[in-house]
Amino acid sequence: MSVMIQQSFVWEDKDIILEYKSINLKNLKKIDFFQVPVDNVTRNEAMAKLLSFLEKKEKLYYVLFLDPLKLMRILPNKKYSYLNQSDLILVEGKGIQWATKKLGTPVVERIPRIAFLMDLFRLAHKNDYTIYFVGSKQEYLEKIFVSLTRNLPGLRIIGKHSKNFTKEKEEKIKLSLRKTNPDIVLIGMGFPKQEKWIYQNQEFLNHAVVIGMDDAFEILAGVKKYPEMIQYRGLEWFWNLLKKPYRVDLWWRAFRFYVKVMFYSLFKKIKFGTKVSSN
């Protein structure tokens, strides 16, 4: 059993649905962060918004978690511009949180993906929503399935398929998604492959809430771990970067992100007449 999942389900017995429904969604705000409309919300507010998606079921809803490397992949590339239309764009990386503060429009809270998923599983269990897994390795998905259903008896995980599928298997997965019509679809193929797959297969995802998992399946299965301090500070993206020193393109993206933030920060200070130290 994944220790992370087991530990995450030690929580107060409270009516989470009532708590989410008490949040006024009309008061929720976004910030324009380099032309990406980021949701400036707390974790509970994000879940309240997600609950509204699940209740409406008017279309496919996509949840995007943002970190510096993803942002720099999205910005210069028009083929990823559709991600700006995501229904919920949440700040996961500490670098983004730092940057929004530096630019004078701080987000109220950084939302770790794993904590968000734990909230989502509890919500699904409480409201009998169905969940579908696509991605990672089959053995990891099975491990997560056992852990979740043991901690949340009756949780409805109605599909689980690894990412290593043939063209023929892919067609079966698509037909299965269309037939079972799950409420929540979690797809872990890594960014941006998972986003491309979602975008190209919208017709099979119906009106589900879809979340790109990146490496979250591996974390939930307990096979991928980060140092405690790295998790606490939200620097998982930077840790992955350190483990890939040969990826010059990733380092270049990280460098460009910080240069861009510092440049705009300096520009704002000059524009609004703030004295800038020469030291």
Q: Report pLDDT digits (tens) over 183-236.
A: 999 999 999 999 999 999 999 999 999 999 999 999 999 997 777 777 767 777
* Structural domain boundaries in the chain: 3-237
- The residue ranking higher by pLDDT, 135 or 251, is 135
- Percent of the chain beyond pLDDT 90? 62
> Residue 192, preceding bond cis, omega within 30 degrees?
yes
Sheet holding 209-212, edge to edge: 88-91, 61-66, 209-212, 184-188, 130-135, 156-161
Q: Report pLDDT digits (tens) over 132-189.
A: 999 999 999 999 999 999 999 999 999 999 988 889 999 999 999 999 999 999 999 9
CA dihedral 170, 171, 176, 182 (to 10 degrees): 60
Q: Report pLDDT digits (tens) over 129-145.
A: 999 999 999 999 999 99
Q: Report pLDDT digits (tens) over 53-92.
A: 999 999 999 999 999 888 888 887 777 888 988 999 999 9
* CA separation, residue 270 to residues 35, 41, 241, 266, 267 (Å): 21, 29, 33, 6, 5
Q: Is 273 within 8 Å of 112 (Cβ atoms)?
A: no
CA–CA gap between residue 136 and residue 278 (Å, rounded) = 50
Query: CA angle at residue 8 from 146 to 68, to 5 degrees?
Result: 105
- The residue ranking higher by pLDDT, 171 or 93, is 171
Q: Is 78 within 8 Å of 146 (Cβ atoms)?
A: no
